[in-house]
Amino acid sequence: MSLLSRISNIFSKKQSLQLIGVSLQQESLSVCFSPTRTAASKNVFLQKKVSLQNFFQAINELKIETNFSGQCHIVLNALQSQIVQVDKPNVPNNEITSALKWQIKDLVSISPDNMVLDYFDGPLLAGGKKKVNVVCSPLNELKKIVEIINQDGITVASITTAEFAFANLLPVQKKACLFVCQQPNEDVILIIVKDGQLYFHRRLRGFSQMASKSEDELAMTMVEALALEIQRSSDYFERQLKQAPIKEIKILLPMASENFFARKLAENTQQPVTLLSLPAGFEKQRDYAAAIGAMGIVNQYNEEQVVQEPAEEVSHVSG
């Protein structure tokens, strides 16, 4: 589930087996480096604070501090990408992208002349209307990011959004899963995935500081508010998309009270709520979930179906 990958083709290079996930968050830069999988390999996790969205400086500093090489998968933050849903243009497939650029120009803040976009078909709405979800970003900013990263042994392999990076953490299954996910100091993202397809996505404001709340504060305000959003999203999924009721809720909220939150959310929604487990070698690194998801680690392990020794982990936070 990788979108906006076309931009990477501008600077295509020979690819390495080593994987790098880079999540551009609003206040920080999170990096996960996964070397060739051997029993002695170490996954490395780095976080760097970012001032005023100056990712170019943070990326340069990290490249100086490390000697990483490999395929890099980038996750854009909410300020670097926009997603809108529109009617699917009635034009040949090879003209859809061009048509969408002008169709969404009044719905987004990015000029058509400075826009790179990709799209994915949305599920049919009630009445058989065909919709597409369009993801767009400013081309000039993406070019700068790609140019900085795409050198010194690093190749930009894909550019995606947090919605798709998180969806990659879920195994492909026939039944729908409602997934509540978040990265530190970011908005909560609620997605519904079925058969590996993203059916629904929504960013929820007002939850970015959940990790700093006490259990009493979470129980009195956050849990009930989130349960309401889950109910609304489930209703849309069932009534508008004509899908079977949601039977599974998973959460990934990197905070000390995550288990407590799951229990309280289950009480409010009257549905089982479980914590999403990350793959072997990444279990404890929930702060880096978007970067891990962008690398496609879950699907890679499922395809290999090989029992391996868990890789060691090295974490580091710099300012």
Residue 306 has pLDDT above 70, yes or no: no
**From 48-62, 113-127, 303-317, the region with the lowest mean pLDDT:** 303-317
The residue that leads in pLDDT, 218 or 41, is 218
- Cα angle 19, 168, 112; round to 5: 90
Residue 9 has pLDDT above 70, yes or no: no
Q: Report the C-alpha gap between 135 and 116 in whole angstroms.
A: 8
Per-residue pLDDT band for 204 (boundaries 50, 70, 90) equals very high
Per-residue pLDDT band for 126 (boundaries 50, 70, 90) equals low
Residue 277 has pLDDT above 60, yes or no: yes
Beta-strand ranges (E) seen in 50-187 are 70-76, 82-87, 115-121, 131-138, 154-161, 177-181
Per-residue pLDDT band for 309 (boundaries 50, 70, 90) equals very low
pTM equals 0.87
Per-residue pLDDT band for 128 (boundaries 50, 70, 90) equals low
Residue 305 has pLDDT above 50, yes or no: no
Report whether 129 contacts 46 (CB < 8 A).
Answer: no
172-275 CATH, one of 1.10.1660.10, 1.10.260.40, 3.40.50.150, 3.30.420.40: 3.30.420.40
Residue 81 has pLDDT above 60, yes or no: yes
Q: Which pair of structure tokens corresponds to residue 227?
A: 């349960």
Compute how many other C-beta atoms are within 10 angstroms of the C-beta atom of residue 76: 26
pLDDT digits (tens, 9 = 90+) for 15-38: 567 899 999 998 899 999 988 654
Residue 224 has pLDDT above 70, yes or no: yes
Alpha carbon distances (Å) from 39 to 35, 291, 296? 11, 22, 20
Residue 210 has pLDDT above 80, yes or no: yes
Report whether 139 contacts 114 (CB < 8 A).
Answer: yes
Domain ranges across the chain:
1-169+279-319, 172-275
Compute how many other C-beta atoms are within 10 angstroms of the C-beta atom of residue 234: 21
Q: Report the C-alpha gap between 8 and 20 in whole angstroms.
A: 14
pLDDT at 125: 65
Burial of 175 (0-12, 13-18, 19+ CB in 10 A): exposed
Please tell me the CATH code under which domain 1-169+279-319 is placed.
3.30.420.380
Q: Report the C-alpha gap between 161 and 15 in whole angstroms.
A: 22
Strands 70-76 and 154-161: parallel
Q: How far is CA 43 from the centre of its chain?
A: 19
Q: Report the pLDDT averaged over residues 77-81.
A: 89
pLDDT digits (tens, 9 = 90+) for 286-303: 999 999 999 987 655 444
Computed over every residue of the chain, the mean pLDDT equals 85
Residue 192 has pLDDT above 80, yes or no: yes
Alpha carbon distances (Å) from 42 to 18, 156, 181? 11, 21, 26
Residue 319 has pLDDT above 90, yes or no: no
| Nearest alpha-carbon partner for 319 in 47, 59, 60, 54 | 47
Q: Tell me whether the CATH fold assigned to 1-169+279-319 matches the one assigned to 172-275.
A: yes
Residue 6 has pLDDT above 80, yes or no: no
Q: Report the C-alpha gap between 53 and 1 in whole angstroms.
A: 25
pLDDT digits (tens, 9 = 90+) for 225-236: 999 999 999 999
